[in-house]
Structure 1
Amino acid sequence: MTADAVGGVWDYALELARGLALRGIRVTLAVMGPAPSPTQRAQATSVQGLDLRHGDFKLEWMEGAESDMAPAGDWLLDLADHVKPDVIHLNGYAHAALPWNKPVLVVGHSCVLSWWRAVHDAEAPTNWRPYADRVSAGLVAAGAVVAPTQAMLDALETHYGPIVNGKVIWNGRNSANWQARVEKEPSIISVGRIWDEAKNIRVLDGVAAELDWPVEVAGSWRSPNGGSTEDAPTANLRRLGQLGPEELADRYGRASIFALPARYEPFGLSILEAAMSGCALVLGDLPSLRELWTGAAVFVPPDEPATLSRELRRLIAEPDRLRGLATAARQRARGYGTERMVARYLDVYADLVDAPRPVTPHREIAAVPLGR
């Protein structure tokens, strides 16, 4: 299984690997991009039998990734030759077109073209065309394609063409790790990659001064591409930095409201964690989030600060409604548990292993060689 240590894919991969381990399935986690932090390595060590490997290669969506595609592909193929897996599970796209001798699953957590459309309301610049070609070829080569929401699966088809064997499997979290306090504090929390424009933290900062409750934000301000928004002015937010799992769970458990006026969010593990922790949800009005949380969240247009401010102030002023929304979110979150996610992936793996092997080679990617 491939992964990265940049964002939610890391948490998703460990959650899935832990569930698979309980069923006697061994996972080799091939992490590319920035190396896992000491905290992340400790998390990985807690997963029984997990074989963690790191390859110092840029992720396919990073600037300058083209030169790393071929050596990363060789590294993955060599690793597969060594561990001899039954299934190749790629949390990325391009390397599905490598000459694997085992069935390949691609999971589409996000992509540059749909991100660009959501954040900039325009098509991605032409310099992203080689990336798009590699993604398209990987989707064609995969034995199956999974997305965490129908909205994300639809986005892949919109930008890269028809997907023959596409499935939706919701991401999951273990609710035992996320608990609400009996007495919530009068506070609002937001969690995510703060450097990512899609999270829209600037809008939240803009309205925080109008609220009677403090707004706390946890997450990284440093982009894996090397840039940082750490020095950018956010006068009205309490910056918590990047928190470890236990401290983050404590912060969720204390907060009354989780706010994320996102412009783009194919699933949102932080939203699920907050819901499991008894937070009322105020979210960007996106098809993916409506798919998951309709009836259990307040939705606001991402670029309407006045609406965001009004809805947050309304929840603060109406404690009964606040509690009702928190209860609804927590009940909805029960449907997004680890057990269900693992069972669905086991079904997909079984279908892949039983499927007839292709008799023709995978389609090549002309723009950049991916490996041997």
Structure 2
Amino acid sequence: METHHPSKILMTADTLGGIWTYALELVKALSAAGTQVALALTGNPLTEEQRQAASEIKNLTIYESNYKPEWMDSNLDDVARTGEWLLQLRDEVEPDLVHLNSLVHASLPWNKPVIVVAHSCVVSWWQAVKNYNAPKTWDKYKEFVTKGLQAADMVVTTTQAMMHMVAETYGPFKQSNVVYNGRGQQHFRFGKKEPFVFTMGSIWDEGKNISILAHIASDLAWPVYVAGDNTHPETGQSIELENVHFLGSLTNNEIADWLSRASIFALPARYEPFGLAVLEAAMSGCALLVGKIETMAEIWGNAAKYVDPNNADDVRDTLQSLIEDEFCRNIMACRAVKRSHGYTAEQMAQDYTYLYSKLIRNEVPVY
């Protein structure tokens, strides 16, 4: 059967979160199919670590900008300028297909098949975290995202639960699929496990909900280590909490080292469409404690302990139970490792290559 792998893709990403990690993993894994990727970046300038990581991927060409990602700006001031820049790149790169990891630009006149991956969105975040609709200031964002997703030739999410949320808010779509994220196991290792709880993120991130973990830490028998800062990014306010150790910003190698030694990884999130950090912890042999939300249950099944993210007593008691029960901890760690084998970068790339080929083979009409 003839294959129709794209030889060249124009992909978007931002430099500020998990999409950067996702994009690098995917691009690297796509090299097996001979696919070259032009990666158009929004957000902050690349760090030296990011630039070094990108330079090691032979099928990747980076294009940088200083435009803001749409999720940072309810007024969407940079959307038009970003769109003009992306279309210029389209003309320069001449891709076979466009892979957008942002939500608003699929409605541009690409004249190419367009796939959009909805990793997260402001509207679903607001509903999950605040339990009410996003303020009116985000109406323009919702309008632009709806237009973009409905124009896409295919919409992808990283879980079925996220697809339900996105389709309900922005649908209907022309085509849709779920592709689970993946990571390369070679980045992570098992070490001698030590008596501490580890987590990653900002204590002010209401979605990740690390604050509830930090505030019950004084009741735990083990210390809690946080890969993140204790200084608020806007106010400069710093906090000190008993039994909580803030490690600041860590390199990927440092995170891998901490995960290899952590006995428990905890992320009692209210909103987490996939959770690459949880996958990294599972690949490192940690017992997992996560928020009881649909996306986490879909990904981890019986390989994690679940807690009500709004119930501090539940978080404390479940964590303390894991701390006290070494046998249970070991069982949960083994389940997490086994489950993580289903979320590899290679499988992710195979799934995307299939979708790319499907779009190219169908000679998707231009709208």
Q: Same fold (TM over 0.5)?
A: yes
Is the Cα–Cα contact under 8 Å of residues 230 and 239 in structure 2 kept in the other structure? Answer: no
What residue in structure 2 maps to residue 187 of structure 1? 196
2:310 matches 1:310: no
Q: Distance in 2 between matches of 1:242 and 1:219?
A: 5
Q: Judging changes above 3 Å, is the alpha-carbon distance between structure 1 residues 64 and 136 closer, same or farther for their aligned structure 2 residues?
A: closer
Task: Rate the CA distance shift 1:158–1:326 in 2: closer, same or farther, 3 A.
Answer: same
Between the aligned partners of 1:213 and 1:4, the Cα distance in structure 2 is 36
Verify: 1:73 aligned to 2:83, yes or no. Answer: yes
Equivalence map 1:24-43=2 (5 Å): 24-43=34-53
TM-score when normalising by structure 1: 0.93
The amino acid across from 2:364 in the alignment is R
Tell me, yes or no, if the aligned pair for 2:75 and 2:141 is still in contact at 8 Å: no
Secondary structure at the counterpart of residue 212 of structure 1: coil
User: Deviation at 1:229?
Assistant: 6.5
**Within 2, Cα distance between the matches of 1:273 and 1:299?**
18
For 2:217, which of 201, 208, 227 is the aligned residue? 208
Q: Which amino acid in structure 1 is aligned with residue 211 of structure 2?
A: R
| RMSD (Å), alpha carbons | 1.5
1:89 to 1:116, Cα distance in 2 relative to 1, 3 A: same
Separation in 1, partners of 2:339, 2:189: 15
Moved more, 18-27 or 213-222: 213-222
CA distance in 2, matches of 1:63, 1:227: 15
Contact residue 173 and residue 337 of structure 1 kept, 8 A = yes
Deviates more, 1:83-92 or 1:65-74: 65-74
**Separation (CA, whole Å) in 2 of partners of 1:232 and 1:159:** 37
| Aligned residues of 2:231 and 2:238 also touching (Cα < 8 A) | no
CA contact (8 A) 1:202 1:234 kept: no
**CA positional deviation for 1:161:** 2.3
Q: Aligned partners of 1:221 and 1:133: how far apart in 2? A: 36
2:3 aligned partner: none
In the superposition, the TM-score normalised over structure 2's length comes to 0.94
Deviation at 1:67, TM superposition (A): 1.8
Hey, what's the Cα distance between the residues in 2 that align with 1:269 and 1:229?
A: 28
Cα distance in structure 2, aligned partners of 1:11 and 1:222: 24
| Structure 2 residue 137 is matched with structure 1 residue 127 | yes
1:39 Cα deviation after fit: 0.9
Q: Which amino acid in structure 1 is aligned with residue 195 of structure 2?
A: P
Deviation of 1:235 after TM superposition, in Å, equals 4.2
Q: Following the alignment from structure 1 to structure 2, what is the Cα–Cα distance between the partners of residues 66 and 286?
A: 30
Residue type of the alignment partner of 1:259: A
Tell me which residue corresponds to 1:85. 95
Deviations 1:322-356 (A, max 9, x none): 00000000000001011110000000100111123
Which amino acid in the other structure matches residue 289 of structure 1? M
Q: 1:337 to 1:151 in 2, by over 3 A?
A: same
Aligned partners of 1:258 and 1:347: how far apart in 2? 33
Identity of aligned residues (%): 44
The AA in structure 2 aligned to 1:49 is N
Letter matched to residue 210 of structure 1: D
Determine helix, strand or coil for the equivalent of 2:99: strand
Residue aligning to 2:119: 109
TM-superposed CA distance for 1:99, in Å, is 0.6
